[in-house]
Amino acid sequence: MTDDVVTAAMLAIGDELLSGRTKDKNIGHLADILTAVGIDLEEVRIVPDEEDRIVEAVNALRVRYEYVFTSGGIGPTHDDITADAIAKAFGVPCEHDAAAMKLMADNYASRSIEFTESRQRMARMPRGSSHIDNPVSTAPGFHIGNVYVMAGVPSVFQAMVDNVIPTLRTGKKLLSRSVNCPYGEGAIAVPLREIQTAYPDTIIGSYPKYENGKFATELVIRARDEQRLAAAEAAVRQMVTDIALDDMR
């Protein structure tokens, strides 16, 4: 791993993702943003609202990747156990954060809503955490060490991600080019493998599409170096042309 590469994992927390009740939207969103800024998302896990499972996953991921991003489980109800689980993973107490308490107390006061004990639960975070601002609904996320803990509601998750991204170290972006190929994978596999072998510093992916009873392929070439990317892309486009010419003969 060089300075050019910054790695990350995501941990999506919630029974509702595993039961099918909720179709996750946060994984794809985070993947898009991280790719855009030059951070490589290398693993995702989804676990239920169970403390031991969250602790285990966080500890497995945080030693392996430079950043870990979590979604879900930071609300005020009994099934929101992420803050406690993260504290346990780091071996620190989970406690009401004074600055978060002040922020939320002021916000509820301004709306004439009682700042109940339940709502105060949302100000709890592992000792030593820093806030992640929440412009949507005030209660902050937090980060401790390399773990960034955010809400599961997509609008809040996205706002928190927007606040986190500028604070992160980023690597050299993995650039990508896409080539639409009107042939199925079986027709291109041999020459495509040769191109991949000839351009080992690129990553060439082949994605079959099955549309109207016919297979086609989207070929995606990725590289951190613009020139190598362009060279590999040209080779892929030439391959498609060669197959077309062959077909016409």
Q: Residue numbers of the site for a copy of itself (CB under 8 A)?
A: 15-24, 27-29, 31-35, 40-49, 53, 75-80, 113, 116-119, 121-122, 136-137, 153, 155-156, 174, 176, 185-186, 188-190, 192-193, 196, 203-210, 215, 220, 222
- Tell me how far apart the alpha carbons of residues 247 and 224 are, in angstroms, rounded to a whole number: 34
Q: C-beta of 230: minimal distance to a copy of itself in Å?
A: 19
CB of 88 to a copy of itself, least distance (A): 19
The C-alpha R_g of the chain, in whole angstroms, comes to: 23
| DSSP per-residue string spanning 49-109 | S-HHHHHHHHHHHHTTSSEEEEES--SSSTT--HHHHHHHHHT--EEE-HHHHHHHHHHHH
Rounded distance, CA 69 to CA 149, Å? Answer: 6
C-alpha span between 69 and 235 (Å, rounded): 37
| For a copy of itself, the closer CB: 144 or 223 | 223
* Min separation Cβ 232 and a copy of itself, Å: 13
Nearer residue to a copy of itself within complex by CB, 144 or 196: 196
Q: How many angstroms separate the Cα of 211 from the Cα of each of 178, 189, 192, 206, 228?
A: 18, 19, 22, 16, 32
Query: Whose Cβ is closer to a copy of itself: residue 207's or residue 238's?
Result: 207
Please identify, using beta-carbon distances, which residue of 62 and 119 lies nearer to a copy of itself.
Answer: 119
User: Which one, 43 or 225, has the nearer CB to a copy of itself?
Assistant: 43
- Pairwise CA distance, residues 73 & 63, whole Å: 22
Pick from 145, 55, 129, 132: which is nearest to 93 by CA?
A: 129
CB of 139 to a copy of itself, least distance (A): 9
Q: How far is the CB of 43 from a copy of itself (least distance, A)?
A: 6
